Amino acid sequence: MKRISKKVSVIVLLVLYLVGALGIGFNLLPGLEALTSIHLFITFLFLIYWHEKKSIEFWVWLVLAYVLGTAVEFLGVHYGFLFGSYEYGDSLAPLVQGTPVIIGINWIILSYCFTRFSARLTPEGWSCFAKAGVAATLMTAFDVIIEPVAIDLDFWSWSGDQVPWTNYSGWWLVSLAINYLFLRLGVEEGKNPVAFWVLGLQLFFFIFVYVFRL
C-alpha cells in the first residue's frame, strides 16, 4: 500500500486547523465546534500513522494514557476529583456517563507533542521525571489559554463560572504521570515529522480563537 506523504499530511492538518480557527474565531461557520471530536480523532490518526517505532511499549502507553486520561475526567465530572466541579458540554460529544469519549485521545495528543518537545528542549542528562515535569508545566500553561476558549465553545463549564486553582494543579499531576510513562517506556525514541506541526497548530488554534473571538 502506498504511503501517504508527509507533505500531504501536513497540508491536510493545515487546512483542518485553518478552517477551524477562521470558522470559529470569526464565527463564520456557526456550530463548527460540534465537529471537534472528529477533528481531534483525525489529528490522533496522523500522529499514530507517522510514529516511527510502533513497539509494544508504544501501544501500551497509548492504552495507559487513554485509560488514565479518561478515568480522571470521569472522576472529575462525577466527584470533583483533582480538577474541581465541572461538566462537559455537547461540543465534545459523544459523551458516556457525562465524559467525552474523545477526552482520553486529547490527553494523548497533548502529552505526545509536549513531551517530545520537552525531551528535545531539555539537557540530555536530565531524568525522565524532570523532562516529564517540564512538559507538564508547559501543558498546564497551555491550559491557561485553553480554558476561556473551551468554556466559550461549550466544551466544558465550571461550577460558579470560575476556573479553580485545583484545575491547574490537577492538570499538572495528570500530565506528569502520562508524560513520565511516555518517557519511561521510550515512546519518544524515533521520528515523527508531523508531531511539531500538530503542536504548533494546536497553539495557533487556541491563541487565534482567544484573540479574535473572546
Predicted pLDDT at 124: 85
Contact (Cβ atoms closer than 8 angstroms) between residue 81 and residue 72: yes
With vertex at residue 35, the alpha carbon angle to CA 7 and CA 163, rounded to the nearest 5 degrees, is 110
Q: Among 116, 120, 118, 145, which Cα is nearest to 134's?
A: 118
3-state secondary structure of 112: helix
pLDDT given at position 188: 92
Interatomic CA distance for residues 108 and 192, integer angstroms = 15
What are the grid coordinates assigned to 99, written together?
Answer: 465524559
pLDDT at 214: 87
Determine the Cα angle at 46 with ends 40 and 47, to 5°.
90
What are the pLDDT tens digits along the chain (214 aa)?
A: 457 899 999 999 999 999 999 999 999 999 999 999 999 999 999 999 999 999 999 999 999 999 999 999 999 999 999 999 999 999 999 999 999 999 999 999 999 999 999 999 999 899 999 999 999 999 999 999 999 999 999 999 999 889 999 999 999 999 999 999 999 999 998 899 999 999 999 999 999 999 999 8
How far apart are the C-alpha atoms of 15 and 31, rounded to whole Å? 18
Residues 154, 90: contact at Cβ < 8 Å? yes
Contact 65, 104 (CB under 8 A): yes
pLDDT score at 4 = 86
Which residue ranges make up each domain of the chain?
Answer: 36-207
Q: Which residue has the cell 465524559?
A: 99
Q: Is 86 helix (H, G, I), strand (E, B) or coil?
A: strand
Length of the chain: 214
Whose CA is closest to 118, among 138, 141, 140, 146? 138
> What is the SS3 assignment for 191?
coil
Alpha-helix runs per DSSP H in 80-194: 103-121, 128-152, 165-184
Give me 194's grid cell.
508531523
